[in-house]
Structure 1
Amino acid sequence: MCRNIYTLHNFEPAATDDEVHAAALQFVRKITGSTKPSNANAAAFDRAVEEIAHTSRHLLEDLVSAAPPKNREVEAEKAKARSAKRFAAA
């Protein structure tokens, strides 16, 4: 379930609000054990996602790195290469 949470720090351009929200949603889904909350829990679920996204945005803004920013396309190609190697037919 959490495989959709990607590193968002130190990319150029910076992580979008949609990316931060998606990561927060995946986190809440993981810790609650559900992908869609019941109607009784929907408000608490949505509030948790918004609070985690808000806090995550502040964290990403405050983090400092001496490393050069990463390129999204290059990192995506690296991930595809790792996946191809991992799932290659024997």
Structure 2
Amino acid sequence: MCRSIKTLFNFEPPATELEIRAASLQFVRKLSGFSVPSKANEAAFAQAVEAVTATATALLAELVTTAGPRNREEEADKARARSAARFSA
């Protein structure tokens, strides 16, 4: 899957509407193969982004967990450490 789509569930503070929409846009781009759709496909592309955004928002609202919320900075630090280990070889 697309590396720029990040986990949005169980963070403090919760994912914003913009973060959910950005992930939805990346998902539709990946599925369609277009980073920018042609004029002929623009309406279908926009409709798909809105549908995925609505579905993702509903999903995040319905999910439950017993785990405590994750800290965004700690998760970003872990990702940077993984990246450094992977690419420093």
Normalising by structure 1, we get a TM-score of 0.95
Q: Which whole-Å CA distance do the structure 2 matches of 1:71 and 1:5 have between them?
A: 17
Give the deviation of 1:23 after TM superposition. Answer: 0.5
Deviations 1:2-56 (A, max 9, x none): 1110000000110000100011000000110110100000011001001100110
Secondary structure of 1:8 counterpart: coil
**Unpaired segments of 5 or more residues in structure 2?**
none
Q: Which whole-Å CA distance do the structure 1 matches of 2:29 and 2:41 have between them?
A: 12
What does 1:5-44 correspond to in 2, within 5 Å? 5-44=5-44
Aligned residues: 89
Give the percent of matched residue pairs that are identical in Structure 1 and Structure 2.
60
Greater per-residue strand proportion: 2
Alignment partner, residue 72 of structure 1? 72
**Unpaired segments of 5 or more residues in structure 1?**
none
Secondary structure of 1:2 counterpart: coil
Q: Which whole-Å CA distance do the structure 2 matches of 1:36 and 1:2 have between them?
A: 16
Q: Which whole-Å CA distance do the structure 2 matches of 1:11 and 1:68 have between them?
A: 9
Alignment partner, residue 50 of structure 1? 50
One-letter amino acid matched to 1:41: N
Moved over 3 A (4+): none
Q: Which whole-Å CA distance do the structure 2 matches of 1:41 and 1:85 have between them?
A: 41
Deviations 1:37-81 (A, max 9, x none): 000000110010011001100100110011110000000000000
